[in-house]
Amino acid sequence: MSHFIDILENYKRIDENINNARLKFGRNDKVSIMAVTKTVPVDRINYAISLGIELIGENRVQEFLEKEDEYDKNCEIHFIGGLQNNKVKYIIDKVKIIESADSYKLIDEISRQAQKKSCDIGILLEVNIAGEVTKNGIPPREIKSYLEYADQLPGVDVKGLMTIPPFALDGKNDLYFYNMQQLYLEHKDKYNLDILSMGLSADYENAIKYGSNIVRIGTALFGNR
């Protein structure tokens, strides 16, 4: 096993920041670090897993398929990138959760492929919380209909919500994080949701303030891409 001192130091700092944020914002529940692996070589990813990171985030189908055989198996993999309908079949039995479910057509296809492979798959609804025209994601006002719809589909289990707010330094996205938290709490009990995935390298501490329980971290862990 190779050692990567940069990843070790970054991990220690992130872990400490997360624990400080949990204390500061009174979070007693678990906050998971997801290592976001786009462009990162396998030996660096496996080193991160060896440090105790249990969750891996994949953006690109092709890149993922090329690397996944060599991943250490004691981690959970989520797909977090834009996903075309015709690619669902390649990843459906290789990931635990697809976090980027953002259209009825995609959710239908996920359900179809899950049934075909007899696997149950978790999804998160990706929310376009800031209403950005350049971004994928479901408008907040449609989330209720999506939950009702997905609830009756075989093979898929909606586990929660995910968002990628506008790029901003820590503190600037508070309103979006707050709105995500409200949306999540509004539907959590009825639909049995338990994941709120938000916060990246630039703003994960504030996402924790608003209830995020998966922070998706690339740059702050592995360095610039």
Ligand X SMILES: *Cc1c(COP(=O)(O)O)cnc(C)c1O
User: Which residues make up the interface to ligand X (CB under 6 A)?
Assistant: 36, 38, 59, 80-81, 164, 200-202, 216-220
- From the CB of 27, what's the least distance to ligand X, in Å? 20
166 token code pair: 């506008």
- From the CB of 58, what's the least distance to ligand X, in Å? 9
The residue at minimum Cβ distance from ligand X is 218
Nearer to ligand X, 140 or 218 (CB): 218
Q: DSSP readout, 124-170?
A: EEEE-TT--TTS-SB-GGGHHHHHHHHHTSTTEEEEEEEE-PPP--T
Nearer to ligand X, 158 or 217 (CB): 217
- From the CB of 116, what's the least distance to ligand X, in Å? 26
- From the CB of 202, what's the least distance to ligand X, in Å? 6
Angle between helices 143-151 and 104-116 (to 10 degrees): 20
Residue 183: C-alpha distances to residues 21, 83, 189, 195 (Å): 22, 24, 12, 12
- From the CB of 118, what's the least distance to ligand X, in Å? 28
Listed residue (218, 213, 214) closest to 202, CA to CA: 218
- From the CB of 221, what's the least distance to ligand X, in Å? 7
Nearer to ligand X, 53 or 164 (CB): 164
Nearer to ligand X, 51 or 115 (CB): 51
Distance CA 159, CA 194 (A): 6
Nearer to ligand X, 143 or 217 (CB): 217
- From the CB of 142, what's the least distance to ligand X, in Å? 20
